[in-house]
Structure 1
Amino acid sequence: MKLSPANINTIRRFFSGLPVKKAYVFGSYSRNEADESSDIDILVELDHTKPIGMQFFTYSDKLQTLLKRKVDVVSDEGLSKYIKPFIDQDKVLFYER
């Protein structure tokens, strides 16, 4: 299962108004292994020239509401050095400002 063009456009519109430079999908959706129970894993690169504040912590909930599916949003800065290589191997860019 892949992200639908409509879902990709929804996510792109969502990030376009936020301090996000790039967004990638990773995990089961990037590997085309997702099914109806899969969550959407998104990695973002934040733009620190703009205020971020606590709003980052609301991204997952807001996207879940828009997409009607569980969404996990993580920042590239918060990745463990042990997990990063696996995410880098899977990630697919789908938004860039």
Structure 2
Amino acid sequence: MKLIRVINDHKKQINSIADKYGVVSIKVFGSVARGEEKSDSDIDLLVKLEEGRSLFDLIGFKNDLEYLLKRKVDVVTEESLHWTLKDQVSNEVVEI
């Protein structure tokens, strides 16, 4: 099963986890967004945190998603995304 479908099937739980940690925007990028994932692919997420949230919230969000989805999840904020990747990522993101 495609990972984007797995993500969409768990959208309610993902949004609940996002609310818990102050994540206000979640976008998938990378191989999952392009539909090119393999059986061992991770899920790359670009997120935005509400004001006043910390690295601990980001880590908690990541850990809870990995538990829910049974898959490695990489999470980056829009601010921490390296400038050399911004154009590529912005061209392939899928909002959830």
Shared topology, TM-score over 0.5?
A: yes
Give ranges in structure 1 of 5+ residues lacking alignment.
none
2:53 counterpart letter in structure 1: I
Number of equivalences: 92
Higher relative contact order (CA 8 A, sep 6+): 1
Stretches of structure 2 lacking an aligned partner (at least 5 in a row): none
Q: Matches of 2:21 and 2:60 in 1, distance apart?
A: 12
Identical-residue share of aligned pairs (%): 32
CA contact (8 A) 1:3 1:29 kept: no
Normalized per residue, the structure richer in helix is 2
Aligned to 2:68: 66
1:12 aligns with 2:2: no
Aligned pair partner of 1:35 in 29, 35, 38? 38
TM norm structure 2:
0.83
Distance 1:71 1:36 in 2: 14
- Cα distance in structure 2, aligned partners of 1:93 and 1:75: 14
CA distance in 2, matches of 1:73, 1:43: 6
C-alpha deviation, 1:24, in angstroms: 0.2
TM-score of the pair, normalised by structure 1: 0.82
Task: Give every structure 1 segment of 4 or more consecutive aligned residues whose post-TM-superposition deviation is greater than 4 Å.
Answer: none
Work out the CA distance in 2 between the residues paired with 1:58 and 1:18.
Answer: 7
1:58-97 residue CA offsets vs partner (Å, 9 max, x unmatched)? 3222211111101011100101110111111111111xxx
Match of 2:89 in 1: 87
